[in-house]
Amino acid sequence: MSYLLPDGPEKGGFSNSKFANWFVKFDEQKLRPFLIRNYTIENVILQDVLNDLISKEFDAADPEEMEAHIEEVSQVTRRMSVANQEIIKRKKLNETNRSSGGRFLDTSGRDG
């Protein structure tokens, strides 16, 4: 259903109302992308995972546990970096399409 309600709304509760369902969709599809630079649901979920990892307690005296924790954080930050690069590529492609009147510019050098 939604990043905000991953298990779905409660039956009979406010979160199951038509207004709440409409607002969740409006928020995720219109408000957040407009207000937050480089917003995607995937990026938000990765940020939540990163926040959970950073706040997770571990034994700093145990080098193996500390190394495993650092590796987990590194993997998530790499995934976030790749996701952000994809967003930037899509934005550049959209700008190119807009400036060319909606036609995609073929820069591969191939005819056709």
Residue 90 pLDDT class (50, 70, 90 cuts): confident
Position 2 confidence tier, pLDDT thresholds 50, 70, 90: low
Is the pTM value of this prediction over 0.85?
no
The three-class DSSP label of residue 73 is: helix
Contact 24, 2 (CB under 8 A): yes
The tens digit of pLDDT for each residue in 72-86 reads 888 888 888 888 788
Instruction: Give the mean pLDDT of the chain.
Output: 76
Higher-confidence residue of 109 and 92: namely: 92
Buried b or exposed e, range 25-35, using 16+ CB within 10 angstroms: eeebeeeeeee
Residue type, 13: G
Average pLDDT of the residues in 16-40: 81
| pLDDT for 5 beyond 80 | no
Decide: helix, strand or coil at residue 54.
helix
H or E element: which one contains 55? helix 41-55
Q: What angle do CA 28, 101, 32 make, to 5 degrees?
A: 10
Q: Where are the domains of the chain?
A: 1-35, 38-96
